[in-house]
Chain A
Amino acid sequence: DGGITQSPKYLFRKEGQNVTLSCEQNLNHDAMYWYRQDPGQGLRLIYYSQIVNDFQKGDIAEGYSVSREKKESFPLTVTSAQKNPTAFYLCASNVGREVGNTGELFFGEGSRLTVL
C-alpha cells in the first residue's frame, strides 16, 4: 500500500540534544512538508520541498533543519537551538507542481517529541 511512514512515533530527548525525525513516502510525490502542531493550535509549516535537492523555509523554520537527497525521504532534525521543541510533528506530501494539483496533502501518522 502507498503511504507516508514517520518514525519514531514517540521520542523523548534531553535538553541540548539534536534529534532527527524520519519521513518516507512511496507515493511518488514530488513535494514534501513538515508541520508542527501544538495543543489548541493549527498546523504550522516548518519546511517544505518541491523537488529533490531543494527545500524552503516555512513559517517557523528556526531551530530546525532538513535535507532532501532522495525523492522518497525528507528527514527533519530538531536542533538544540529550537527553544520549545515539545510538539506533535506531521510529515505530508503531495504531487507537487503538476497541472491539476489541488494542493491536497497526504499525511503520515505523526511523531510526538517530548523534551525532558
Chain B
Amino acid sequence: GQNIDQPTEMTATEGAIVQINCTYQTSGFNGLFWYQQHAGEAPTFLSYNVLDGLEEKGRFSSFLSRSKGYSYLLLKELQMKDSASYLCAVSGGYNKLIFGAGTRLAVHP
C-alpha cells in the first residue's frame, strides 16, 4: 500500500525553529515535495528533494533519506505568517503526487 504520515498539529514560538517530519511508503518514488497551505487557499510549493541530503532555501530547509523513507521540513526564525498547514507529498508512478494529511502549524508570540 501507499502511506504518508506526518504529525497532525504542532505549535511553536515566534523566532524559534520547528521541524516537521514525514515518513512514507509508496510503490514508486520520483521525489518528495513540501507545500504550504494557508486556510482556504491553494497549496504553494516550498521544496523538492529527489536525492538524499539537505536542500536549503532561505528560512526553509528540507531533508530526505530515501533508504529510511523519511523527510523533514525545517523552518527557522519563525514568523506569525508561517502559521499554516504543511503538506508532504511523494511523486510516485504515473506522474501522480500522493499527499499526506498535512501538519497544522500554529506560531504564537
Contacts and interface: CB of A to CB of B under 8 A. Distances in A.
B97 interface: yes
Given A42-B87, A43-B99, A96-B95, A102 B41 contact: no
Contact of B91 (A42, A97, A103): A103
Contacts of A102: 30-31, 48, 50, 91
A109 B41 contact: yes
Nearest to B9: A40
A74 B42 CA distance: 17
A90 interface: yes
B53 interface: no
B20 to A, nearest CB: 14
Interface in A87-105: 88, 90, 94, 96-97, 101-105
B101 interface: yes
Contacts, number: 61
A106 B45 CA distance: 8
Nearest to A108: B42
A79 to B, nearest CB: 23
Contacts of A105: 33, 43, 45, 97
Contact of A42 (B41, B44, B96, B99): B99
A110 B101 contact: no
B48 to A, nearest CB: 6
A43 B95 contact: no
A42 B40 CA distance: 13
- Of the listed residues A45, A90, A105, the one surrounded by the most CB atoms of chain B closer than 10 A to its CB is A105
Given A102-B30, A102-B31, A103-B95, A42 B4 contact: yes
B87 A50 contact: no
Interface of B: 4, 8, 30-31, 33, 40-45, 48, 50, 87, 89, 91, 94-102
Q: 8 tightest CB-CB pairs across the interface, nearest first?
A: A103-B91, A107-B42, A42-B99, A42-B101, A43-B99, A42-B100, A109-B42, A102-B31
